[in-house]
Each structure stands twice: as C-alpha cells, then as structure tokens.
Structure 1
C-alpha cells in the first residue's frame, strides 16, 4: 500500500505537470486575438480613424454662418476731400462731406457692429465636402483592416516558425543523445583497444557541433518569441505554440479543398477600392467647389461722434455713446468666371489621381490572383513531398542502425558511422521541413484567399 500510494502520488504529479504544460500552450486563435488588441501598429491606425472622424465633424460644420461682433472707439480728424480711390485695405474710413476749409480738430467717435455672413447655398459643395470627409474615414478604416490583415499574416508566419524550430530542437536533442551514445560506445571500445583513441576525439567534436546547433536553434526560437511578444503584449516566455497544429491539418486530408478564395472582399482589395471611391468623391468636390455661392448678409451698427449735425466740433467726451443706429440685410450671389480655368486644371489633376488609384486596384487584384495560384501549386508540391519523405526517413533510420551495429562489431569506421548519422539527421529535418511547408502552404492559401477564419475553425 505504501508503494501504491507513493507511485499514485507521483503519477498524479506527473499528470498535473503535463496538464500545466498543456495549459501554457498558446493557440493560434488566442494569439491573433491578443495581436488585434495590443499591436502598436493597430493602436496607431485606430487613432488615425479617430482623427478622420473628428475632421469629418469639423467639415459638417462648414455650413454655419459667421456672426462677428465688433466695437471700437477712435480719436482722429474728420477732414475729407473729393475723389475716388481703391482702399487696398489700408486707408481708414472718414465719413463726412467735403468742407470749404481744411479742419484738423480732433474728433472722438465710437462704433458697434454686429455682422452676419452666411453662405446659404453653394449648389452641392457642402454635400460634396461631407462625402469626401466620410470617404476619408472609410479609407482609414480599410487601412486599419489592411494593417490587421498584414499583422495576421506576420503572426501566422512566426507562429509556424516556432513550430518548426520546436521540431528542429526535438530532432537536435535526439541527435545529441545519439552522439552521446556513440561517444560512450567509442570510449568503451577505445579502452579495450578495439578502436583508436582518435575516434573518441572525432565523437567529441561531433557531439560539440550538435550542442552548438541546439544553442543556435534555441536562440532563433527566443528571437521569434520576442517578435511575437512585441505585437501581442504577452510575455515572450509564455508564447509556446500548440504542437498539434501541424498534425491536425495533415490528418485532415480534405483541408485544401475546404479553402476557397474570397478575393472580392479581401482587405487589400477593400482598401484600394475605397481609395478609388475617395478619389472619385474628390472629383465631385472639385466640380462643385467652384460653383456660384448664394450669400446672406446682414449687419446692425450704431455710432456716436463729438461732431454734431451742425458740424460743430464739441468736446471729445461728448463723442461717447451712440447717437445713430442702422441695419442692412441683403442676399447676393458670387461667381468668379476665371475660376473655370482653375476648375479644369484641378479636375484634370484629380482625374489623374483617380486613374492611378484604379491601376493600383487592378494591380492588387492580379497580385492576389497570382498569390492564390502560387499557393495552390506550393500546396500540391508540399503534399507530394510529405507523402514521399517517410520513405527517406525509414531508409535513413535503418541505415544508421546498421552502421552503428557494424561499428560496434569493428566492421566499419567512425567516418562511415558519422555519415550514416548525418543522413538520418538530414532525413529527420527534411521531414520536419516537409510538415512545416505543408502547413505553411495551407495558411498561405488561406491568407491570400481571405479564409484564415475557416482554417482556425478546423483547429478547434
């Protein structure tokens, strides 16, 4: 009973350790969710959307009128003469008829004005501005989705790299154990005089080489974990991939047939399509921003002066306060005939931008179609390679065992044994690479065809 309890506790602890290890594995779906939430690039793009939304709100307020309040008190002369002139914005106003004699006495006046300036109608320019602002938001939103798509592809690629590196580390661990086994055998044979001492040195060199390769592979694994940690916000040590991903996809032989291609709604296509639409909206804005403008003008003002109605220059203090008031209301229309040329030139420029956007959209469609075809061919090649590689692995394993047995019997040398070991090592790495290539081809087709969610559902 004592031993039974002891071994039962050990089995329970082992089970708990295995469960904890399994819980530490990060699934690809969970990792992608973390990237969506924490990736710095997506956070930045999200802020860009907020900027465009704020600008759209600002554009919608362009129709509001301008109501300006102004008050001024001035001291100066009131000494006019007859004759026209252009104001140029720098000649002060001086209201009064011409006197028979020059008079430079000081006058105090004050003036209060409330002026309304409202562009009440501009033949669709306001609507065109709002459409462009809304289109700008759509472009930013699609830019966000494109960045999300690119990060998704980047995350999947690095996740698969982790799986491959883990396979390589497992293979390298077995390779180290084989070299250790060979070294122990050589040491025993060398002590008995069956094998020369130089074989021990060769075995030590091969073992050291295997250990160095393991160190380098482990470094590559850590670097990949750090790259994923930077965009997911997870501690890099916790990013351990689910090792069953490749096995599940390989076992489901109909997986390639389940992956269609939805390039019409692909994030890249949606982005460039929105850029084209945005450029077309800007064309409409160019057409309408040079249209005539209907204006409502209104003003009310009051004045006071130290000069009375009889042209007497009274004390300056009498100029305070308002003695006369007026108002003026009117509707006008404004149109610059020479803006027709400006409109033509600007519209031609915008049409060129639209043509460029259309060509970029067509280019991306062709690139996606090419990517889908390349992914299909890569997937077919990967399937054939995966079907053939077990033959290589089986033969290499048998060859190594035969050479190891012959070496222990003294019928072959260390060079041939190491050659057989290297062939086995290459076969194992080729098998791991074939698994990686097949899984990578499946995800490449899914990413290119905008069907990643379909593959993720298969992994549940």
Structure 2
C-alpha cells in the first residue's frame, strides 16, 4: 500500500469523515425544510355538533377551556337539543418581511458552506494522521534494518571473539563484553520491532485494513530531498482557513437574521366558512336533522401587518452579543492564518540547514564504516582491544541512525510546508516510484 493509497482508503472508510459528510447532508436537507416552512398555511375544518344552545350576555377569556355556545338569550335554561354544522377554510401567508427570508436563506447557505468546509477540514486532518503514521512505519522500518545489521555485525564479532578466547588468544573478559553487547543489540532490535508493530496497527485502524495483511510501499527517493522546493503560499483555499472563514461568514449571516427578525411582517389572510343550525331565525328549536346542512356562507380577505415593539430592544441586545461572536470568529481566522504563515516561514529557514546535513551524510557513513572495518582488522591482528572495537560498532550504528533521523527531519519539514500551503504534490513525489 502506497502513501496515497492509504490516504484514499482512510478517507473512504474512517468514521469521523463519514459523520461529517452526514452532517453536511443534514445541512443541505434543512434548506428545503426552510423553504417548506414559508408555504402558506391552508387549513380545512368541518365539525357536526349536537348540544344545548343557551346564551347569556357577558365577556370572558376562554383560555381554551370554555366551550363557546351560540344561541338566543332566554329567561330560563332549557335542555332541548339543537344541531349545527360548521365548515371552515383558512389561509395565511407571510409574503413580506423586509428581507428576513433572504437573510435566513443566506444563513442556511452559510450552514451548508461550513458543513462542506468541515468535511474538508476533517479530511485534511485525517490525511495528516495517515501520513504521520505511514512515515512512522517508514522510519521504524529503516531503524529496524539498521538494528538488524548491527545485530548481525555484533553476532559475527561475538563469534570471532569467542573463538579467540577458546584458543587462549584473547582474555575471557572479551567474551563477557561481547556477550553483553550482543544482548544489548537484541534488546534494541526488539524495542524497535515493538514500535513498528504498534504503528502497523494504527495504520490498519486508520485505513480499515487488517493489520496482519498490511504492508506499506517503502519507496523513498532520498536524493530528491536535495532539490529546491517549489515556492508555495498560504491562501484562503486552505481547508483550515476555509473552515474558519466559513464560520465567520455564518456568524455574519446570523447577525443579519437577528437584525431582520424585529422588522414588521405583512401577511395575506383569507377565510371562508359555511354554517347550518337547527335553530330558526327566531331561535326556536327545530328538527335535529335540519342542522346538518349549510344555510349561511361567508368569506373574508385581508392584509395584516404585525410588529412587536419590544422585539427591537431584544434584537439590539442579541445584535451586540452576535457582533462579539463575529469578532471572535474573525480573530480565530487571523490567528490560524498567522500560524500557517509562521509554519511555512520556519520550514523554509530550516530546510537550508538540513540540506547541508544531507550533503554531509555520505561522508559520515563511509568514515564510520571504514573506522569499523579498520578496528575489526586491528582486533583480529591483536593490536586493538575489545573496547575500541565496541566503540567502532556503536559509532557506525549511531551514524546510520543519525542519517535516518536527518532524513526524517527533512521529510517532516517538507510535510510542514505541505501542511501550511495544503499543496502535497511535491511531498508525495518523494514516495512515488519513477
């Protein structure tokens, strides 16, 4: 599995990205809910009733509990039954509100934008996690090979020393020291191997791959690190900046909604109703069945303008709070932009020094290998002691590890440039087969 394949696998399967995409789908669906809420309210109602009809003058608040009764006023309370039939159709439509609908539409679009930016940010951070884990595997694999070579060298030297000790050419102390060095080399190998296996498990979790079947492509073009990097810049298209910018836009859109919420609302009202009753024009009780038809019809059309004066005070207070939220979002955007700019500038300044270190590596490795071979030859000829040979072994291993560490730091610095600019083309080229 190459680095880019690992990233693609994680983006398609990882739960956090899936959750962000579901949230984005929810934001997009909510725009239709907003449009549906603005449709006119059209209600149909019909009821057939039977009961008494005793009226009495007076005013009251019904509170939704008192059943209204329409009937003539009489000297006595009568329990004769009367029937009635009422059919009602009403419609109301808030068709003008001084731009509140437009501001709500902008807020809904801002929610969609921030959802999209959230998906991109989550994908960006997941990409960083996959690259980091992949690089851990790459470096640990190289260190593991170095420790393996060191273990092989120590084992060879240990066999030579033991043979010399058995033949009485070297003292027994050399054998003991060689045994200690061999055990130390094995422990170092086991420690690195443990870290390598843990990194395999992490990458398997990120990519949704069985760790036992996972093997990374170890292609690494180390010489390409010496090539001057392309010039890159921090732009607002960066996923982290896009998210912060979208959040700022969302806060500004909400500020506009708050300002529009207190303005008057103009609605179109219509109603039509029909009614029947078994009471005649003189409020005399007639046959029950006569009340089930319709004998009167009415309609009503009107315009209504509604404004709550107290809403202006409430809107002012909410506007003040929202303005502070807008400033907070703006500050976060500026701070994120500054961090990326500093990351890019720092990376560019460090690369110059690292390039010098890369140029020095071949000389250091050749010298360490030469020193080891010379010390081994001197030891075999009885001129060098075991401590000098052990020092040469350890020096060679340290230089080999240092070479990997310098390459690792250079790659991490290149990764920081890619992170700051969100341009990974140059970085991925180090791990692509030619």
**Counterpart Cα distance in 1 of 2:343 and 2:212:** 34
Instruction: Quote the Cα distance in structure 1 between the aligned partners of 2:355 and 2:42.
Output: 74
Query: Please, what TM-score do these two structures have when normalized by structure 1?
Result: 0.88
2:117 corresponds to which of 136, 142, 145: 142
Q: How many residue pairs end up in the alignment?
A: 432
Indicate which of 27, 47, 59 corresponds to 2:2.
27
Asked if 1 retains the 8 angstrom alpha-carbon contact of 2:274 and 2:298, the reply is yes
In the TM superposition, what is the alpha-carbon distance from 1:318 to its structure 2 partner?
A: 4.1
Give 1:288 deviation, angstroms: 1.4
Which residue of the other structure, out of 338, 342, 352, is the alignment partner of 2:324? 352
How far apart in 2 are the matches of 1:448 and 1:245?
A: 22
Q: Given the alignment of the two structures, is residue 409 of structure 1 paired with residue 381 of structure 2, yes or no?
A: yes
Q: Is the 8 A contact 1:301 1:325 kept in 2?
A: yes
Cα distance in 1, alignment partners of residues 247 and 261 from structure 2: 21
**What is the distance in 1 between the residues matched to 2:394 and 2:91?**
89
TM-score with structure 2 setting the length = 0.93
Corresponding residue of 2:98: 123
* Aligned-CA RMSD value: 2.1
Tell me, in whole angstroms, the C-alpha distance in 2 between the residues paired with 1:248 and 1:130: 54
Deviations 1:305-343 (A, max 9, x none): 232223122354443333333222222111111211111
Q: Is the 8 A contact 1:259 1:451 kept in 2?
A: no
Shift in CA distance, 235/242, structure 1 to aligned 2, threshold 3 Å: same
Ranges of 4+ aligned residues in structure 1 off by more than 6 Å: none
Looking at structure 1, the residues matched to 192 and 73 of structure 2 have their Cα atoms a distance apart, in angstroms, of 99
- Listed as ranges, the gaps of 5+ residues in structure 1 are 1-25
What does residue range 120-199 of structure 1 map to in structure 2 within 5 Å? Answer: 120-199=95-174
Task: Give 1:181 deviation, angstroms.
Answer: 0.6
Q: Secondary structure at 2:115's aligned position in 1?
A: helix
* Match in the other structure for 1:213: 188
State the SS of the aligned residue for 1:127: helix
Aligned to 2:178: 203
Distance 1:222 1:100 in 2: 98
Matched, 1:46 2:21: yes
For the 8 Å contact 2:234–2:341, the answer to whether it is kept is no
Cα pair distance change 1:97/1:120, threshold 3 Å: farther
Q: Distance in 1 between matches of 2:220 and 2:382?
A: 44
Once structures 1 and 2 are overlaid, which stretch shifts more, 292-301 or 49-58?
A: 292-301
1:3-44 CA deviation, whole Å, 9 max, x = no partner? Answer: xxxxxxxxxxxxxxxxxxxxxxx3222222222222222111
Q: Which residue of 1 aligns with 2:315?
A: 343
Aligned to 2:274: 302
| Corresponding position of 1:363 | 335
